[in-house]
Chain A
Amino acid sequence: DTEVTQTPKHLVMGMTNKKSLKCEQHMGHRAMYWYKQKAKKPPELMFVYSYEKLSINESVPSRFSPECPNSSLLNLHLHALQPEDSALYLCASSSQAINTEAFFGQGTRLTVV
């Protein structure tokens, strides 16, 4: 099973809303990631969790708040977003071994209105 599951697949939210994106994997991976992808651009790293601890924050605005409740789950809490935050949000996971592939979920298409 190399599946990373993201919910919801699509989300439309207003600028004053609070919402959460969810990600789940059951591959026993201890590294989990959030990436953001804008149209016609490559994915850009936002956060990395390693053993449920935040390892990397790529200077992401505080309106994005990640959470890793356990080794299988990763959330991204959204609050007071801007229209320019509309994008495809991708979750990924990998084993803790160095130089291993990351497996991506299908993504959540977020539209901020």
Chain B
Amino acid sequence: DQQVKQNSPSLSVQEGRISILNCDYTNSMFDYFLWYKKYPAEGPTFLISISSIKDKNEDGRFTVFLNKSAKHLSLHIVPSQPGDSAVYFCAAIALIQGAQKLVFGQGTRLTINP
């Protein structure tokens, strides 16, 4: 039962263009979502988050959009840079016994081509 899904295992984008990574979720109780970036053999690095009371959050080149009715969120990176090549995880926060649990999607490997 995968509650957070990233259906594209990989994405290839030309440098300077927009990268769009997608994520779907099934649990309507989720109300906070995050995107993490991960390089091989390193821990995930927090990028940006969004609360369910918003439909957009922007931080520099990164923008996250949330469509609550469709249970869908997306991460836009513009312009894409070679250093953006990494695996991107979408995550939702589940509250269990008063503690937070991150539920991750399967990840999308983004490759930025020069």
Contacts and interface: CB of A to CB of B under 8 A. Distances in A.
Interface of A: 4, 6, 31, 33, 35, 41-45, 48, 50, 55-56, 88, 90, 92, 94, 98-107, 109
Contacts of A90: 43-44
Interface of B: 31-32, 34, 36, 41-46, 49, 51, 89, 93, 95-102, 104-107
B99 A55 contact: yes
A50 B89 CA distance: 24
Contact of A99 (B36, B45, B93, B101): B93
Given A99-B51, A99-B93, A56 B99 contact: yes
A50 B105 CA distance: 24
A77 to B, nearest CB: 20
B102 A45 contact: yes
A7 B45 CA distance: 18
Max chain A CB contacts within 10 Å: which of B32, B42, B102?
B102
Contacts of B99: 31, 48, 50, 55-56
B97 A56 contact: yes
Interface of A is mostly: strand
- Dominant secondary structure at the B interface: strand
A56 B99 CA distance: 7
Contacts of A48: 99-101
